[in-house]
Structure formats: C-alpha cells, structure tokens
Homo-oligomer: A and B are copies of this chain.
Amino acid sequence: MGSVSDVFKALVDPTRRKILDELSEKDGQSLFEICARLAMKYQLASSRQAISQHLDVLEAAGLVETRREGRYKFHFINTAPLEPIVDRWLRRIPKEPE
C-alpha cells in the first residue's frame, strides 16, 4: 500500500495539499473539523463527501493515517512517504524502480 504513484497522485490535487497543510498545523482532526477549517481559512467550500474522498486518496497513499473513536474518525498526517520522493533526484540515491 502507498506506491510511489499513489503518493504523487495524492499530492497533485491542491485541495489535498491544503488538507495536509491543515493536518500539519493541527494533527488528529475529524472530517467535519477539516471541512470547517478549510472553509474558514481558504474560503474553500468543498462538500463533506468531496473532502472524505480526498482523505481516502491520502490514506491510500499512506500520507494520512486514521483512528476511529466512537462516531469520530481522527486523521493524522504521516510524512514518511514523502522522504524518498525528492531524494530520488536531489540526493543521488541508487535508483529505485517503481
């Protein structure tokens, strides 16, 4: 889970990048919290379902991990999949066929 392609696909959408920004600022938010804060900060009136699908993509890429508690589902950022990305061309790592 979380191939190189998945990570890039997750990062190509500007809304998903803002979600990562948001989780980077305040980790462990619920879906509704993220919706509210995105609407406040960026005048981004994305629907709940849209954000939910974005979170699914981020989770599939391994960039977001979740923990269920009762009726809440909290989302946590995981930057681990980002490490090999820039290493690929900046530092000269052997070659990592995807």
List residues of A (31-80) whose CB comes within 8 Å of B's CBs. 77, 79
Minimum C-beta distance from A61 to chain B (A): 12
Task: Indicate if the CB atoms of A14 and B82 lie closer than 8 Å.
Answer: no
State A22–B62 Cα separation when bound (angstroms): 27
Q: How many residues of A contact B (CB 8 A)?
A: 23
Residue of B nearest to A8 (CB): B12
Task: Indicate if the CB atoms of A12 and B14 lie closer than 8 Å.
Answer: no
Task: Indicate if the CB atoms of A90 and B83 lie closer than 8 Å.
Answer: yes
Give me the interface of A with B, judged by CB distance under 8 Å: 4-5, 8-9, 11-12, 14, 17, 20-21, 24, 77, 79, 82-83, 85-86, 88-90, 92, 95, 98
